[in-house]
Structure 1
Amino acid sequence: MDGDVRINPFLSGNFAPVRSEDDLVLPVTGALPPGLRGTLYRNGPNPQFDPRDANYHWFVGDGMLHAFTVGDGQVRYRNRWVRTNKWTLEHEAGRALFGSWGNPMTTDPSVLGVISEGVANTNIITHGGHLLALEEAHAPFEMSGPDLETVGQYDLGGKVTAHPKTCPFTGELVFFAYADDAMPLSNKISWGLADKDGRLLKRETFEAPYCAMIHDCIVTEHHIVIPVLPLSGSLPRAMSGKPAFAWEPALGGHLAVIRRDQGVSSLRWIEVPACYVFHVMNAFEQGETIVADVMRYDTAPLFPNPDGTKGENAAAYLTRWTIDLAAGAVAEAPLDDTAGEFPRFDERFAGMPYRYGWLVGQSLKPGDFRSNIVVHLDLATGARKTWTVPKGDAISEAVFTPAGPDAAEGEGWLTAVIYRAVEDVSEFVVFDAQAVDKGPIAGAKLPRRVPFGFHGQWVRG
């Protein structure tokens, strides 16, 4: 297995795991804004042990949370693994036990009957006073913050994917999930609502045209839209040694449109050109139209073809989907020509018309998904500002936090983590959100790396 680990791109460079849990006070350069007080939480894969599979994928590593707490001119850092049952069983055994994607063919026989609670490695959100670590196909894990102790699984009636959204109109948590009562890699999907305090209100299940990897959803005042796009899942394919998930554009693209007040009884399917979307920036309604700004790929990146051959090196571009509910049709229009990912906006305007957005861009060779540009977009005027990291460095998703509850839209800061390649360390950085072209206004460098991860959340106070 050691040979496989050395050649697997998801286990080398800054994808490689760190194996320590630390508590540090970091030296600060520049001037931390006095109004910036709180914690940037980041989540990402960090396998506790060398994986059992030669074809290990970045998406399946154990979740590790990183907390950068800012206040009184200091930055404190703490990191902890999420103590799922997978992590605990493997910690006690001193080795990996579970196969990637739960594949029974590469799972240790001693845990074949154990139901995995997942890896909680993708996102971190707050809702109703609860700090929740999430991934694609299991229940969330509640964490205590900022000390990052694992409280345990959080009950929303079962599985929840990585991008539930809090509705600014009702305070409800709107989510979707792979159905609990289905076989692995089934075409059944659930959606649901929890109230402003996190108590489950509704959970319903329906069938999609096929099994797809679905990472994010579109939420507006009255609707949830779940994109079923042709990154397909197949249990027979996985059992035969081929990819569990693969790109199959012939399956076409489909949007499940549901009115939140009516549920599955209102479900309708609207076709969209075959493409892939990991992330949605924001969405809102205009009469009988839903406007959704998404990061659109022509083909799904990071995944192979059904026969296991390498897929195309695609990039994502910010694209506006205009979903005409009356006509049952979708129009697509590009909003920016920067290849990028991890879109963010001022979430006080979630589900509403908005003006400003941010993403991290990629100007490296095709297929290199390390982000090296911070992009600020004015969607009203088309103006943009950018800043590029030094050569060889890479930047995480840049998370927006407003300067205050009454600040104008987009007035505040971005917080992110930059991998400094020459030193092989990572640095917490702060930008003025309206002047990203000026570069970071403050930073705090770690003595080691924070491995590339996925999503972050700023929590005040």
Structure 2
Amino acid sequence: MNEATPRHTAAPSNLAPIDFETEVGPLPLHGTLPESLRGTLVRNGPNPRVPDAKAHWFSGDGMLHAFHIADGAVHYRNRWVKTGPSDGVANTNVIGHAGRVLALEEAHLPVVIDLATLDTLGPTDFDGGLQHRVTAHPKTDPRTGELLFFGYGTPESLSSGMSFGAVSREGRVTRREQFEAPYASMVHDFAVSAEHVMFPIMPLTASLERAQSGRPPFAWEPAQGTRVGMMPRNGSTKDLVWWSGPACYVFHVMNAWEAGNSVFVDVMQFDLPPLFPYPDGSPAGDSRTPSRLTRWTFDLDNPAHEFTQTVLEETRGEFPRMDERYAGFAYRHGWFAGHVALDDGEVRMYASVVHVDHATGARDMFTFDAPDMVSEAIFVPRADEADEGDGWLLATVWRGRSDTSDLVIFDARDVAKGPVCIASLPHRVPVGFHGNWFLERPTRLTSD
């Protein structure tokens, strides 16, 4: 991309790829493996098959890491996502929908994966229903099973064109619309509540002209301010109303919901985008630029269509998660990977797991020993009928001293007491992005 972005040669050691595929298990356990946990945690992240010091880390080939838990044992398997030259790298997320496991990134179609083997089965357009790139962060409606998605830079890359659509529980594309954003930008995530869809357009702008002239294709231009397009779930993109707010950047949304005549969106908000430059190539924010859990409030009675931003938690961090059974509705519990401020002013990135109770404002936190780093933590309910937040958190932790990784399992509402069980790998799981929990291994599937 440009000299303001990290490259493999300057990366911390756990950013480096591993060069093998393997199966290991049963893994050594420390503590008690919860009896109710039966399924597979799958994580995704960049792991270039041929490392290139000139390539941006974000662009590495996807690698899936699966931890299968059953009968009191944990087994591990990893595989590259083996995409074709025009199918992207599928390195950002992995979800389940309509009986398929899908590896995602935001510039290409989903790629179907066999959960039992992690074999790559190929891209899918849902029987011709998808025509353009789709987000790595679609939203599943817990009531209907509908999958909502968007794309940015569509149909032309680095343009202000965007798309929005939905896939039914059965895997049929039921809507697909195109619209123009106020300006071209990088839009990594969006927000969906029971009654609204919101598209945050933030001033990490995109420019084909810059890219063609050798300058940064994505650059920070705070004078543009933040715009959020809001539309009714039962409406169309023709009904979009554009709200305004101060310049900021958000990679990830925790949740969105309605209460009274307001819409609320909880996000991990940066004042400056990490790892991206100004238009002239000079650095805007570095890898340690912090984000904080922040609530956006949209008062639907406000004729000026200006939203407010309220910091909920001073602990910095990223990778927010929630109990997905409450996605789009008022909720109580949220979790994220937290940073720890040191006495010398430095910051330990991704050093802790943080639980926030929105009902009481209380924070529950566990910090790993230095220099360990934790991944995004995935919530798994104890049972289908369990109360919100009653369940387990699963994450991987890189142990810096041994250069190996562990799967750690927490009681989701008591993370401060530490993991209830640790499953240890003989090798490391490189820093990745996102993952999800799959209740069972589906039968072998095929792509379109």
**TM-score w.r.t. structure 2 length?**
0.91
Residue pair 1:303, 1:311 contacting (<8 A) in 2 also? yes
Between 286-295 and 191-200, the greater mean CA deviation after superposition? 286-295
CA distance in 2, matches of 1:369, 1:163: 27
User: Secondary structure of 2:340's match?
Assistant: coil
> Which residue identity is paired with 1:210?
Y
Of the three residues 341, 348, 351, the one matched with 2:325 is 348
Look up the match of 1:73: 72
- CA separation of 1:46/1:272 partners in 2, compared to 1, >3 Å: closer, same or farther? same
> Matched residues in 2 for 1:310 and 1:367: separation?
19
How much does 1:266 deviate? 0.6
User: Is the deviation greater in 243-252 or in 402-411?
Assistant: 243-252
Is 1:386 matched with 2:365?
yes
- Residue 317 of structure 1, aligned match among 292, 313, 318: 292
Paired residues in the alignment total 424
- Deviation string, structure 1 residues 382-412 (Cα, Å, up to 9, x no partner): 1111110011000000110000000111110
Name the structure where helix makes up a greater proportion of residues: 1
Q: Give CA-to-partner distance per residue, 1:182-201, whole Å, 9 cap, x none.
A: 2x211100000111112101
Partner of 2:23: 23
Contact 1:67–1:146 (CA under 8 A) maintained in structure 2: no
Correspondent of 1:204 among 177, 180, 188: 177
| Offset of residue 217 of structure 1 | 0.6
The Cα offsets for residues 145-194 of structure 1, whole Å up to 9 and x where unpaired, read as: 13111111121513111100011233211111125432x21110000011
Alignment partners' CA distance in 1, 2:10 and 2:384: 40
Deviations 1:318-364 (A, max 9, x none): 01111123322212111111000111111111111111111110115
Q: Is the 8 A contact 1:10 1:16 kept in 2?
A: no
Cα separation, partners in 2 of 1:9 and 1:282, compared to 1, 3 Å: farther
Indicate whether 1:118 and 2:117 are aligned: no
Corresponding position: 1:85 with 2:84:
yes
Q: 1:84-118: CA deviations, max 9, x gaps?
A: 113xxxxxxxxxxxxxxxxxxxxxxxxxxxxx221
Name the CA distance, whole Å, in 2 between partners of 1:10 and 1:141: 30
* Native 8 Å contact 1:248 1:306 kept in 2: yes
Take 2:107 and 2:348, find their aligned partners in 1: how far apart are those partners? Answer: 24
The residue aligned with 2:262 is 289
SS at match of 1:85: coil
Counterpart amino acid of residue 354 in structure 2:
V
Task: Give the equivalent residue in structure 2 for 1:132.
Answer: 102
After alignment, is 244-253 or 363-372 more displaced? 363-372
Note the 1:230-379 alignment, pairs <5 A: 230-313=203-286, 314-327=289-302, 328-364=305-341, 370-379=349-358
- 1:433 match: 412
Question: Is the contact between residue 130 and residue 142 of structure 1 (CA under 8 Å) also seen in structure 2?
Answer: yes
Q: Deviations over 1:31-72 (max 9, x none)?
A: 100001111110000111122x62x32211111111001111
Whether the 8 Å contact between 2:47 and 2:62 is mirrored in structure 1 is: yes
Cα contact 2:8–2:15 (8 A) shared by 1:
no
**SS of match in other structure, 1:370:** strand
Compute the displacement of 1:239 (Å): 2.4
- Aligned ranges for residues 85-234 of structure 1 at < 5 Å? 85-86=84-85, 116-156=86-126, 157=130, 158-182=132-156, 184-234=157-207
**One-letter amino acid of the counterpart of residue 291, structure 2:** A
Higher relative contact order by CA 8 Å / sep ≥ 6: 1 or 2? Answer: 2
For the residues of structure 2 that align with 1:347 and 1:402, how far apart are their CA atoms? Answer: 9
Secondary structure of the corresponding residue to residue 329 of structure 1: coil
CA distance in 1, matches of 2:371, 2:259: 43
Deviates more, 1:387-396 or 1:168-177: 168-177
Cα offset, 1:79, TM superposition: 0.7
In the alignment, residue 199 of structure 1 is paired with which amino acid?
R
Q: Identity across aligned pairs (percent)? A: 49
Q: Give the TM-score normalised by structure 1.
A: 0.89
